[in-house]
Amino acid sequence: MEPSQAFESYWWQKDPSVTEATANTRGGLEEFNPFEDTNKQQTPGSKTTPVAAPLPVKPQQQPAVMAPTSELPPAYTQSAAQPAVTEGAAELQRRQEELERKAAELTRREQQMRSAQYNTRENNWPPLPKWFPLQPCFFQDFAVDIPLEFQKVVKLGYYLWIAYWLVLFINLWMSLAYFAGIGGSGAGLCFGLAILFMVLHTPFSFVCWFRPLYKAFRSDSSFNFFLFFFIFFFQFMVTVVQAIGIDQFGTVGIINGLSMIGAGSKGDSNSGMVVGGLMLMIGIMFGIVAVLDLLYLFKVHALYRGTGASFSKAQEEFAKGVVTNPGVQTATRQAAASAVSGATTSMFSSGGGGAAAGNNRM
């Protein structure tokens, strides 16, 4: 070993700072026990190295999602700050509804016309069985033929006709009871006319005033409206007379009912008084029908004035109907052909006679 190296080795061994550092390091490594209690007092001169704590693990974040709720929203109430619907808006809404209703009605009529080109509507009134020798004469369907706003009015007229028929039917049987109870020519005449009116008034009233009413609202016909007004007013007057109860008019009512009650009271006949009371009830029923007829006449007239119909329009419809009627056209052609043939025959006959007279003179 060279002298310089020996000196350095000796110096490292004799230096107190180097000796202390090497001794502490050796002793700390030899005395370290990882399983020893951390609260145990360390030997003096030993030094521990702190262990760094592990970094905290951040929890995985989830996206924010609102949980659905099953609660219903509160009922809507108009607050004072919201403006109320003005009259102008209400009028516009009413007109819009009216236009939509008219558009639906036009669509329905167009569909009906298209279907009528391919399908022939079969008559369904009166509803008779197929084995019956007579068949239905008219087609009647309020939902198809009558506009929606007039269906209730037309049905009311139909029910009024049924009510009149029922009163005539009851009047027939009460006239029979009247004839059986009191006898005589007057009661017999009343019973005979009751049968006649039952047979004739029922179909005639349907054809003469209800069918014109039905066709008037179906096609907005002024002519049918005027025909209904005329005939229905006449029926109103007839119903009033029938309610009075005159034997010569074929109905039981107030007058002959009171006479029946008087005859029963004089003869001490309870049956006569009962029949007379029932006859009075029939007269009251005729009176109720007459009042309903008058009210219905006013109602239809009010609707007629609102449709824009007039007497001049009725005249135009009548003239157009007469001109386009196939029967009238056939009769006109036959009359014209007869006139032409007659004129031709007379012309040739007069010409032949003149030629014969000239030959005679020659």
List Cα–Cα distances, 15 to 1, 9, 27, 45, in angstroms.
20, 10, 19, 19
Question: Which residues make Cβ contacts (< 8 Å) with residue 245, sequence separation at least 6?
Answer: 251, 252, 253, 254, 255, 256, 257, 279, 282, 283
Asked whether the bond before 34 is cis by omega within 30 degrees of 0, the reply is: no
pLDDT the model gives residue 14 = 55
Tell me the average pLDDT across 30-52: 52
Return the number of other C-beta atoms located less than 10 Å from residue 109's C-beta. Answer: 13
pLDDT the model gives residue 101 = 84
Residue 109 pLDDT greater than 60, yes or no: yes
Tell me the average pLDDT across 183-187: 77
Q: What is the residue extent of each domain of the chain?
A: 157-322
pLDDT tens digits, 257-284: 888 888 766 665 677 788 889 999 999 9
Residue 208 pLDDT greater than 80, yes or no: yes
Confidence of residue 335 (pLDDT cuts 50, 70, 90): low
Confidence of residue 320 (pLDDT cuts 50, 70, 90): low
pLDDT tens digits, 116-134: 555 567 888 888 888 888 8
Residue 19 pLDDT greater than 80, yes or no: no
Cα–Cα distance measured from residue 161 to residue 213, given in angstroms and rounded to the nearest whole number: 12
